[in-house]
Structure 1
Amino acid sequence: MPIAASADHAVVGIIANPVSARDIRRVIANASNLAIADRVNIVLRVLTALASLGVSRVLMMPDKGGIRAMLLRHLRREHNLHHRFPEVEFLAMDPSSTVDDTFMAARMMRAAGVKAIVVLGGDGTHRAVVRECSDIPIAGLSTGTNNAFPEMRESTICALAVGLYATGRIAPEVALAPNKLLEVSINEGQRHDVALVDAVISTERFTGARALWKTESLAAIYLAFADPQAIGLSAVGGLLQPVGRRDPGGLAIQLSAEPSMCRVVLDAPIAPGMVRPVGIAHWEAMPAGREFAVVQGSGVVALDGERELAFDRGDRVRITLRENAFPTVDVARCMQTAAAQGLFRHSSP
């Protein structure tokens, strides 16, 4: 099939978080963050790859962090040089420079009928997108502090896979992969949220600095998957008892700062450049659909590394693993299929 096949007016969304990787963990661990110019360059590579497959329109989340302004300057300059890009339309919303921007942009993209959403951010940004539109396939690019969920890939290849799916060259049953998530419910759903990688129980009572990094305040970790190569609190499970993102079930871990209560002490990379000892009291498999009751009397539930839900004594906190909860674009499978089917080949003139 020639690469210029009809795209049937495929529309793709792009949500680029301008402030990911700027939390306290980056400061204390001497880790750098991604400059706005670098984020814009990633977006430009995504746009170029999408255009090569005939994607004619892209919806983007606006921002006040500088991505929109710099990107528009680049697009005007590239247009004058006759370079080919999709039409880029920024959503009609007033950005607040909070996670609410991502929530709103995801909802608007879903309503506009995008085929997929390319997400630039860390675990928290991806979680926010999935929370609002779990039926729209996403493709993640790592630009956050902890990037356990988005896999490290060159943005050009990621965008080519998205374009192959969005334009119908590769069918959904081949292009998409199912993913697990964790549902967190307080008092039978009066408050609820989701996590894509980990839900962590902290003994601290206030959200404060949202990023979680003090291991002595942690009571439990619930994991949808646990990769031994990951950075973040999911690394605890990854180094203890790995669980793949396509494997059934997850992992529940009870922690303790008391040496007498620990079965093992694990040195884990909980943030870039930060390896800390974590006392493990107990761990067990977490089957899908089974509720796990949080035994800590009061504290905060951190979702994918950020404190989100405070609870007090008397509150009933339950965590449940759900399988087949949302789709992602399977980049490796898309590119392998495209190679096998010759989707990037042209006939000789």
Structure 2
Amino acid sequence: MSQRSTEADVCVGIIANPVSARDIRRVVVNAGSLQIAERVSIVLRLLTTLRALGVPRVLVMPDKAGIRALLNRHLRRDQPESGGLPAVEFLDMDVTSTVEDTFEAARRMRAAGVRALIVLGGDGTHRAVVRECSDVPIAGLSTGTNNAFPELREPTLVAMAVALHATGRIAADEALAWNKVLDVSIGERRRDIALVDAVISTERCIGARALWKTQQLSAAYLTFADPSCIGLSAIGALLQPVGRRDPHGLAVTLAPDEAARKLAVRAPIAPGLLAEVPVAGWEPMPPGRAFEVRHAGGIVALDGERELPFEPGERVQLTLRPNAFPTVDVTRCLQLAAQRGLFHCSLGNH
């Protein structure tokens, strides 16, 4: 176990996407949406837990949707029963109410030396954070539409694990888990990543970014495929499950043409939406091997959102990269803390 950090040096970042879970998929399938008040409640639970376990300072991404205003209202109140709150600093940055806010906040928090980043959002929000600071450990909280990457947990438990790592009570080699990504390249200049899935659509227009129709999909490339997850990765999960820590991924060829169809799966591609998806075949994706897309133009959707259009003749490649970024392993941190008595109190503190 590492030596505990000096408290003054410990800082954690919080990026809360104020508009996650509000894309068109939620309208189409009548799914619920997490309100601003509940997002603020989550942040407050994070803050009180972090302070109770020795984190004195927290950086927060600003917004114009109401999180900052409501959170400031709570911060101005005296909450002696909570044991106090850390010093909360909103980043001094222009707010655009686009994904650029997440990119900018992640860069600034990395530069400020945060020990970990707690992210509230779906797959797309987490992808944006990882793209900008893949060397900073993140802890995800599921508040989006498709939440294959961030797991559904009580924020208090996530904050406990983050504090254990940030303060040095549990060393990085025990507290962190390493994750795969898909490196996506189009031609020589355009590069991006996907945390869960990169899906090839024969559509030629991005339109509404969220992807929920399967009729024009031709292939899906997956870092992991968990049958208990919602989203396009569920297609592969019902064919050949692949774990987050498995060394390989999965490549699935879909069959919009009836002649190529070998079977079909009924997959939960969005909350409340089971889609019948025709499949032509599938195979493991070993790390480092480039899979080439052979289509005369279309769009690459990254983690459920249309992102990268490509034209006929452009070379599209997808490669699985292991050990790409660390996450705080909440379960392992809490198990180790229990085994080592890290939450035991002295008799004078009861």
- Normalising by structure 2, report the TM-score: 0.97
C-alpha distance after superposition, 1:220-261 (max 9, x if no partner): 000000000110100001111000000111000111122221
Q: Distance in 1 between matches of 2:5 and 2:264?
A: 56
C-alpha distance after superposition, 1:43-95 (max 9, x if no partner): 00000110011100000000011000000001112458785000000001011
Q: Distance in 2 between matches of 1:235 and 1:211?
A: 16
SS at match of 2:31: coil
Q: Distance in 1 between matches of 2:296 and 2:78?
A: 58
Alignment match, 1:74: 74
Alignment match, 1:240: 239
Gaps of 5+ in 2: none
Alignment match, 2:229: 230
- CA 192–83 in structure 1, closer or farther in 2 if over 3 Å, else same: same
Aligned runs of 1:174-213 on 2, under 5 Å?
Answer: 174-188=174-188, 190-213=189-212
C-alpha distance after superposition, 1:94-147 (max 9, x if no partner): 110000000000000000000000000000000000000000000000000000
SS at match of 1:50: helix
What amino acid maps onto 2:343 in structure 1?
F
- CA 82–329 in structure 1, closer or farther in 2 if over 3 Å, else same: closer
What amino acid maps onto 1:302 in structure 2?
A
Q: Distance in 2 between matches of 1:74 and 1:131?
A: 32
Q: Distance in 2 between matches of 1:224 and 1:296?
A: 22
Is 1:36–2:28 an aligned residue pair? no
C-alpha displacement of 1:32: 0.6
What amino acid maps onto 2:235 in structure 1?
V
RMSD: 1.4
Whether the 8 Å CA contact 1:123–1:149 is kept in 2: the answer is yes
Whether the 8 Å CA contact 2:10–2:167 is kept in 1: the answer is yes
What fraction of aligned residue pairs are identical, expressed as a percent? 66
Aligned runs of 1:251-262 on 2, under 5 Å?
Answer: 251-262=250-261
Alignment match, 2:217: 218
SS at match of 2:168: coil
Whether the 8 Å CA contact 2:16–2:120 is kept in 1: the answer is yes
Alignment match, 2:92: 92
Whether the 8 Å CA contact 2:124–2:303 is kept in 1: the answer is yes
What amino acid maps onto 2:57 in structure 1?
R
Whether the 8 Å CA contact 1:236–1:266 is kept in 2: the answer is yes
Is 1:338–2:337 an aligned residue pair? yes
SS at match of 2:147: coil
Whether the 8 Å CA contact 1:181–1:323 is kept in 2: the answer is yes
Whether the 8 Å CA contact 1:181–1:194 is kept in 2: the answer is yes
Runs of 4+ in 1 over 2 A off after TM superposition: 4-9, 78-83
Q: Distance in 1 between matches of 2:200 and 2:183?
A: 14
SS at match of 1:240: coil
Is 1:18–2:36 an aligned residue pair? no
Gaps of 5+ in 1: none
